Each structure stands twice: as C-alpha cells, then as structure tokens.
Amino acid sequence: MKVYESNKVRNVALLGHTGSGKTTLAETMIFESGTTRKRGSIESKNSLSDYHDFEKEKQKSIYGSLLHLDWRGTKINLLDTPGSSDFYGQIAESFSVADVAMFVLNSESGVEIGTETYWNAAEKEGIPSMIVVNKLDSVNSNFQNTMDMAKERFGRAVAIVQYPYSEGEEFHAIIDVLKMTMYEFPEAGGRPDKLPIPESHVAQAELLHNELVELIAENDETLLDLYFENGELDEYQMRDGLHMSLMNRDIFPVFCTSATRNAGTGRIMGFIGNVAPSPLDRDMKLKNGDSFQIDRDGNPSFFVFKTGSESHVGDLTYFKATGGSIKPGLDLENSRTQDSLRVGSLFIAQGSKRTEVSEVMAGDLAVAVKLKDLHSGDTVRLKGENLEFSGINYPNTTMRVAIKLKKEGEEDKLGSALHQIQKEDPSITVEHSQELQQTILHGLGEEHLSITLYELKERFNLDVEFIRPRIPYRETITKRVDTHYKHKKQSGGAGQFAEVYLSIEPWEEGMPDRDDLNVRNIDKIELEWGGTLVFQNCIVGGVIDNRFMPAILKGVMEKMSNGPLSGCRARDIRISVYDGSMHSVDSNEAAFKTAALMAFKDGFLKAAPQLMEPLYEIEVTLPATYMGDVMSDLSSRRGQILGMDSEGSIQKIRAIVPLQELDQYTTRLKSMTQGSATFTRTYHDYGQVPHDIQQRIIETTLADDIS
C-alpha cells in the first residue's frame, strides 16, 4: 500500500444536519476517485461508513467513520460524522484531527440547526471551512435560498465558486465562476464535459467571479496590489489567495453537487487536493497552550482521536501521526500513564475494512491494533519526552437515565461494560451515585442513550432497562431556632450522658456575626455535596470540654448527610454550640455525637425546613416557527426565561429550568420542533422547591420508607 508524504495528505471532516447526504457524498467521492469499483448506499445497507448493524437498521450515521481515497496522488481522509446532535461526541473527535471542515447543506432545507451548531464549533476550533450544496436534483431544491441563509448565518465570507445552471429534475450542469467554465454531466453522472458558459449566464457568472476575486484579493495585500494593477488575478494567484484565505477563515468557498447522481464530486476533490490545507499547514494545540507543527523529520509521535473494540481483533486505536513516521515495532510511551507500549500492526481504514501498511507518515490518519489502555485524547511519544497534546472538547450532556439490572449478581459485568462504552465514547458519562443509590448514564439525547442500551443488551448480553433517575435534592432551613437535647442512658455498667444547646440558622455568604454569643472558634466547612456548614464553638465556663466538639460536629454532619426532612443532604446552615452539660464519668464522644444529632434533627424540623432542587441554565436553538410552542412548554416546566436572541431565522432562548423538568426534555423538544431544535445545559445553582411539590416529595419519601 502506498505511503503518502505529509504534504500529500488532506484530512477532511464531513459535517451537516441529518439528511444532508454526507454519507452518500463520501461514497460517491470514493467511487469517482477510482478507489472502489462499486458505489454503496444507505438504502442498500452496504455503504462503507454506515457499517454497524444499528446504523443499517436505522439507515443513518450514528458512529463516526474513517474513510480514504486517492485523488491524483493526494490521499484524502474523510471523517464521516453523524448528523444528529445526539452524537456530537463523534464530531468533537473529528475536529481534533481535521485540517478542513466540509459542510454539506441540503439545498431543499438550507442551513439547518445541526449545521449551525457544528459551524460554531468549527469556528471556535479555528478549522478552515468550505461548503457543499447537495441534492440540487431534488424537486424542491432552492440554491439561492440556501445561499441567502448561509450568508445570513456565516457572513459575507461565504463565496460562491459554483452555482447550478438549473435545479430539480432539470439539474444537469454546474457553472464554475473560478474556472469560468460550465460542467455538463451525463445522465448517469461521472466525468463532465467542459463547455463555455451559456450567454444567458455570462453576466451572472462574471459578477460572481469578480466578487470572488475581490474577496480573495482584499485578504492579501500583495494580491490586492496585483488586482488593482491588472484588474484581474490569474488562476494560480487565485489558487494561492484562496489557500491563505481558507486557512485564515476569511473565505468559505461554495461548491455544488448531486451526490446521488455523481455530479460535481471530481471538482470538489480537485479543490481539496490543490487548495485545502495539508497537515503541515495547521498547528496542533498542546496541553500547555503552545502550538505544535506537524513535523515529518521530528521524533515519532501520534495523537489518539478515537478508540474501538472488535471481538475478533481486540482494541482499535485511531490516530493522527504528529511526528516522524510511525512503524510497527516502535517503542513509545503513553503520556497520560507513562506506560511503555510497542506499536504493532498498522492499517488504513475504509470504514470497517482495513488494509495493512508498513509506515504512516506525519499528518496521516491510521489505525493501530492491540494497544492497551489508550483513550481518546491521549498522546503517544518517545519515552522521556515532554510532548502532550490538548485533549478533545466533548460537549456537556443534556439527558440522563438510571440503569436497572433485571438479574441479580451482574453488577460487576455491568461495570465492565459501562467502562468499555465510556472509553469508546467519552461523551457518555457514567455516575455511580451513592447518594441516589443508582447508576446514572448522562448522554446527549434519547438516541445517544438508546444506542448505549442497545450495546448493553446486544454486545454485552446484559438484561437491563432504563428508569427515571432520582433527583439530588438538598435540604436547608429558612428561620433561626434554638434547640437542645439531653442524651442520658444507664443500663448497667458505664452510662452515657451528654447535653447540648444549639442555635441553628440559615447561612448566607457575608451574613453578620452573632453579637449575642461569645464565639470562640469558627469552622467554615465547604460540603462535598455543595453548600456550606458554619460550625461555631460558643461555650463559656467549660460546661462542655473542647475535646467533645469534634464529636458534636460529627453528629451534626451525620444528620446533614441524611437530612431530617426527606433524607436528602442538607446545606447552607450555621450552627452555634452555646451551652450544655457533661458528666465526669459518663460523658464520652459517642454520647455527645448522639446528643448533637438529635438536637440538630429536632431544631431543623422546627426551623421552617425548605427542600432545594438543582437548577440548570439552558440555551435552546430553534427555528422561529416553533418559538411560541417552546416558550409555552418552558413555562409549564417552571422555567424562568432569561432572554432571547434572534439571528435571522434562527432563535435562541435562555432559561433557568429545574433538573426534574429536564430529564425527558430532549425528547419533548424534538417532538415539538420536528427534530429541528437543539439545546445545551449547564448547572446553575440550587433553588427552592414550591411548597406543593415539596409536600409531594416528602410524602413519596415517607411512603418509600414504609414500604
């Protein structure tokens, strides 16, 4: 198998909303390049990238897939990504190694929500981006509307390089304003005829050509001078200018295609090979914030962007070679663990098919097998080096479920399965909550979590179901109360005696000190479950020996970890120990711990206890059409609207919503908006639970305790 030099490699992430045709486009590009002899399809369930059983069943991309092709001596690696935001983790992995992002727009729908989400991420990562308008042969194709939406959302840097001569059923030709040529395609697609631009389109083509030249020139002073001097740029000057403008995200070139009819892919591949950046053109980010340039002559190293496992192969490690050349037999180390490893067999991937290679040059993407304990985001380097790349920016989760085993005794098997799933997909978070006594999965949506359930059942042979997760409520108080408890026990032998007087009150940062108490010592404790406990020793006259203070604090903490109101953890309380008594013989630490616990419990229930619930700040991105429905739904979920932003036809709503109301929100939002809306969430704070809901929670807790 041919080994490609670094400057002859292009790493392209294929991105776009579900249904834009990314997978079909990838199949067509690979077929048109001659890399394969037959085009696969999603409908026939034989596409190169959608090869998992679940993908074939759903007829959509769920997992990211690595493909490749050769176009006139340049190797183009294609990172085909899912279109649904539920699988954004796969896109984050692709972004970590891509040198250019190719956004595929459906000419019937224009810029959809998923596309905008991925565009914003590419912008944040600084990845050069180009646009391909697909499905121009569709009945409802509207290229101009798609361009209007793209320019509205992505700015004037959106530059038309190609536009369709006609659309819909009449689509058969593309006018290229960079080459000033019309490409006319045969009925079966494939290699086009190059024709002069028809007279009826000359004026429009020249207008777009001049706009493209001006946009290229204005981003390069040398080219701008040449443009002013000659009134034109030649093809090679435009190519160089396009390369730099693309690199700097000063221009987003637009190409046209019908992937199903194999029309336009050759020109796209030619542009990628001639103009798009190679791995040598783009620096990678190091963990310390510095930049790292891919170095063909440097020490061997690579960055892991994806891991997998197959029963007949073992561990699969997808990587980008970042230095030197990677060969079997190399002795390297994992920068995260400092463990040594020896590189075994190397392969280039065509979806599930792999071809063994003897060497992988810096900048190229490949697969290694049987490398142990490597995770996505790991750096592999020469032993003793200080090289470590920045990790992968996975998104925050938006949905959670609890896992229930139907068979006893499979807890260890479930733990191992979840560990493997999380290793392969770090956008899944596994939480073993002792507080809630549940194993909780956090994911990016219902589809994302349904894949995990499928894998647990089919791949790991576990009989499990998803149930509603419990809410980590908190308890606090709303008024000050003085309380006391005398613990006295005498039943033969040594007795127990302790008496404590406590003043308990709500705590807020910055609240004044107690002038009515002789505060001798203050402990401010930041609780591991959030919030604060302020513990004050106000004892005078030695009525309680100082050696018993830790026991009193321990008793209070024990009850706070299992709150008096509902069994949830308590927070944000100030406790002052201001009086008490002890016995010279019968007082001990156990007695004072018990007295403090009982005094705190009694006082807490008299201090107007309040249940608190976790609140999340969410941002919903949606088409304007659904604003009313989504706003109404948020209100029904006790949401507090913070603000709204409008960006053309795209709307954004920011709100604070209780976690209890968000557990099924992903499903509801997709249902309301026909799958066109997305949302993100971040933890905000704890807030008071309304009285009626608080009573219902307490009654439910009591009922559970009784049962």
Give yes or no: residues 157 and 108 share one domain: yes
Give yes or no: residues 369 and 325 share one domain: yes
Q: What is the pLDDT of residue 492?
A: 64
Token representation of residue 209: 């050509």
Helices (H) and strands (E) in the chain, counts: 16, 38
**What is the CATH number for 36?**
3.40.50.300
Would you say residue 392 lies in a domain? no
Picking from 442, 497, 501, 492, the residue whose alpha carbon sits closest to that of residue 466 is 442
DSSP string, 362-373: TT-EEEEES-TT
d(CA 247, CA 253): 12
Write the CB contacts of 162 (distance below 8 Å, at least 6 apart in sequence).
174, 175, 176, 177, 178, 254, 255, 256, 264, 267
Give yes or no: residues 511 and 436 share one domain: no
AA letter at 34: G
Question: Residue 5: phi, psi to the nearest 5?
Answer: -70, 160
Picking from 254, 61, 266, the residue whose alpha carbon sits closest to that of residue 150 is 254
Would you say residue 481 lies in a domain? yes
d(CA 516, CA 134): 76
Strand segments (E) across 530-647:
532-537, 569-570, 573-581, 609-623, 640-647
Give yes or no: residues 291 and 328 share one domain: yes
**What is the CATH number for 532?**
3.30.230.10
Segments of the chain with pLDDT less than 50 = 703, 705-707
d(CA 473, CA 475): 7
Would you say residue 394 lies in a domain? no
Give yes or no: residues 620 and 603 share one domain: no
Total domains in the fold of the chain: 5
Q: What is the pLDDT of residue 707?
A: 37
d(CA 134, CA 141): 9
Q: What is the pLDDT of residue 433?
A: 92
Give yes or no: residues 548 and 489 share one domain: yes
Give yes or no: residues 411 and 353 share one domain: no
Q: What is the pLDDT of residue 702?
A: 55
User: What is the span of the domain harbouring residue 359?
Assistant: 285-381
**What is the CATH number for 342?**
2.40.30.10
Give yes or no: residues 403 and 372 share one domain: no
Token representation of residue 392: 């992968």
Burial of 562 (0-12, 13-18, 19+ CB in 10 A): middle
Residue ending a domain, choose from 446, 467, 488: 467
Other CB atoms within 10 A of residue 648 CB: 13
Which 3-state string (H, E, C) describes 681-707? EEEEEEEECCHHHHHHHHHHHHHHHHC
Buried b (16+ CB within 10 A) or exposed e, 222-254: ebbebbeeeeebeeebbebbbbbbbbebbbbbb
Q: CB–CB of 381/335 below 8 Å?
A: yes
Q: CB–CB of 452/421 below 8 Å?
A: yes
Token representation of residue 520: 């001798």
State CA 506 to chain mean position distance. Answer: 38
Give me the residue label for tokens 């609140």: 615
302 has which bridge partners? 321, 380
Write the CB contacts of 700 (distance below 8 Å, at least 6 apart in sequence).
none
Token representation of residue 294: 């891919």
Q: Is 417 helix (H, G, I), strand (E, B) or coil?
A: helix
Q: Strand pairing of 100-106 and 9-15?
A: parallel
Q: What is the pLDDT of residue 239?
A: 82
Give yes or no: residues 232 and 305 share one domain: no
Q: What is the pLDDT of residue 421?
A: 93
Would you say residue 345 lies in a domain? yes
Would you say residue 90 lies in a domain? yes
**What is the CATH number for 424?**
3.30.70.870
Would you say residue 700 lies in a domain? no
Token representation of residue 253: 């070139």
Give yes or no: residues 69 and 22 share one domain: yes
Rg of the chain taking only CA atoms, in angstroms:
32
Would you say residue 323 lies in a domain? yes
Residue ending a domain, choose from 407, 441, 467: 467
pLDDT in tens, 190-200: 899 999 999 99
Give yes or no: residues 687 and 632 share one domain: yes
d(CA 366, CA 2): 13
Q: Is 255 helix (H, G, I), strand (E, B) or coil?
A: strand
Would you say residue 393 lies in a domain? no
Give me the residue label for tokens 């067999």: 345
Give yes or no: residues 408 and 461 share one domain: yes
Give me the residue label for tokens 């009134």: 231
Residue ending a domain, choose from 328, 355, 381: 381
Picking from 175, 201, 163, 271, the residue whose alpha carbon sits closest to that of residue 184 is 175
Q: CB–CB of 213/205 below 8 Å?
A: no
d(CA 473, CA 566): 9
